[in-house]
Structure 1
């Protein structure tokens, strides 16, 4: 038995779990992946790293700035660039009028999640496959790999809305109002395909660090990922597709040809033929990359006999910052239903030890 079970160890789940844990609740986090972070994803390969999920952080609100300041103080984040160029078919490469700092983690964006995961009780490689309410009005969660069952007074589901819908649909009727599940069903995502590629140290690198494509039929973004590292052993680029191209190839059994097509396009756009001939290349698909039609509120709470709250970047839709705000809101909602251990108006990040 634990007070709160959090399914999902991305930004929203970790923030929620930390807030609840630091105020006295017993919290257990479960995630199907090998590591924490969700789209704060970094892959170790060929003696280097590449951020194939969220590529940088650009704060907008005060709370997210507090988090970024905290991470900068801990030497986890630093400013990468204040200029992300734009590329259009007709005008080519142009400098944006408004510049603002983009923050990155030299050790990889997953370092943010590892910092937020410290001191938490986390079970990795554990997929939740079943939920039900016990006669004592507790949540019982079944795990796939071990067929183990976990019990909690309250449940937070911090995973993409379609995955949450799959988990909750069997409860429709007796335990959940089916109409409320339609709220989850209304959330849609754009997919994305990310390519990580490494090149010889003799490559003539471009002047830019990052470029957004406005109207390219294949590409959405490209970044010189190795420029984030303090001592990068070789040039590394991360190329991300646009949503329509990703949708065409999302279910391809072999994504290597798709990745090669993306590099060919980038090589042609920038007139850099060597981009098409990397020393190595890896491709990753993100089925739930960017919320297309997000839920308009910070959380989606269910009227159940035991507290149940869903959160994530799809609540509000502002990517990593939205996920953080959603995780905080979820912790507040759960706290209201339990012992109300969290005092009002606590600045979580300034008090983080």
Structure 2
């Protein structure tokens, strides 16, 4: 049995959820706090009316979910490409029927308290951590895991552990503007995936050909880190129109695009760590820190970091 009974995890992305599952399996009573309306983080799926878009991470490295409760949710994705684009080949694993299915599987049996913005942690006299929102204290926990992007972790840790906060503050993140666009008729493009590293539009993916998705002409368009940083404070409408224009000039250059039925955008301010730390997790007393910025990045790295944090607390 572990030496502690309760744990609070801040962040319901895959790092926090993987950590929660391992702690729960060891007999720890776990609560996960998430500022958004549901779990998933950058593996979330956006719903616009009846339409769904995988608007964050587009695929997983094969085996990223191995050893987790979400392993059964994935299917291989084999995109269709022609012309001067790369030949058809398996691109990676994709959770079915949405990217968020993996997070829902990881959250199974875990208490996730959504729409809860935890304030910077404060040290208690007994060495523990005070968790609170703007409305007041949260239930105490024997251990606390911070599983959010490094800039947000630095803010949460600044008072309770300046060394951990400094480590998190030093990790840079790239932003990413993502546009979601839908048409009410088929475009009949000869490709359903386009990736062009270095261009303003680095990724475009049709949603319907992905495993288990509903039909319909829906695309996710993702900007480069450089373009996203330059336009970080643009209005979503402006960013969406700019990315649609680039889509029309590259992926759909041979097609006279009709007016879209839907066009919107989402800004991922902390999309991907550009220089992750080598450590898989960080610890200090009753605190542990996990995330994709520790030990390698991407979804597989985030899951491994969350599990490493659980193992460190349980050891």
Q: Deviations 1:104-138 (Å, cap 9, x if unpaired)?
A: 23421111111110111111100111322222222
Q: Which of the residues 264, 289, 292 maps onto 2:245?
A: 264
Question: Aligned residue for 1:94?
Answer: 85
Question: Aligned residue for 1:66?
Answer: 66
- Structure 1 residue ranges without an equivalent (≥5): 86-91, 337-353
Residue 169 in 1 paired to residue 158 in 2? yes
What is the CA-CA distance between 1:83 and the residue it aligns to? 6.8
Structure 2 counterpart SS, 1:226: coil
TM-score by length of structure 2 reads 0.91
What is the CA-CA distance between 1:233 and the residue it aligns to? 4.3
On the 8 A contact 1:129/1:141 being kept in 2, the answer is: yes
Partners in 1 of 2:258 and 2:132 — Cα distance? 46
Question: Aligned residue for 1:332?
Answer: 311
Question: Aligned residue for 1:351?
Answer: none
Q: Which of the residues 47, 51, 64 maps onto 1:48?
A: 51
What is the CA-CA distance between 1:203 and the residue it aligns to? 2.3
Q: Deviations 1:15-64 (Å, cap 9, x if unpaired)?
A: 000100011011111110100010011011232210000111122xx6x3
Question: Aligned residue for 2:201?
Answer: 219
What is the CA-CA distance between 1:72 and the residue it aligns to? 6.0
On the 8 A contact 1:157/1:311 being kept in 2, the answer is: yes
Q: Which of the residues 278, 283, 304 maps onto 1:301?
A: 283
What is the CA-CA distance between 1:179 and the residue it aligns to? 4.2
On the 8 A contact 1:82/1:102 being kept in 2, the answer is: no
TM-score by length of structure 1 reads 0.82
Flag the 1:236–1:229 CA change in 2: closer, same or farther, 3 A: farther
On the 8 A contact 1:264/1:276 being kept in 2, the answer is: no
On the 8 A contact 2:294/2:302 being kept in 1, the answer is: yes
RMSD: 2.3
Partners in 2 of 1:207 and 1:237 — Cα distance? 14
Partners in 1 of 2:106 and 2:96 — Cα distance? 16
Flag the 1:149–1:193 CA change in 2: closer, same or farther, 3 A: same
1:318-329 correspondence runs (5 A): 318-329=297-308
Structure 2 counterpart SS, 1:220: strand
Partners in 2 of 1:213 and 1:230 — Cα distance? 26
On the 8 A contact 2:79/2:192 being kept in 1, the answer is: no
Q: Which of the residues 75, 78, 92 maps onto 2:75?
A: 78
Partners in 2 of 1:238 and 1:29 — Cα distance? 29
- Structure 2 residue ranges without an equivalent (≥5): none
The alignment of Structure 1 onto Structure 2 pairs a total of residues equal to 311
Flag the 1:7–1:274 CA change in 2: closer, same or farther, 3 A: farther
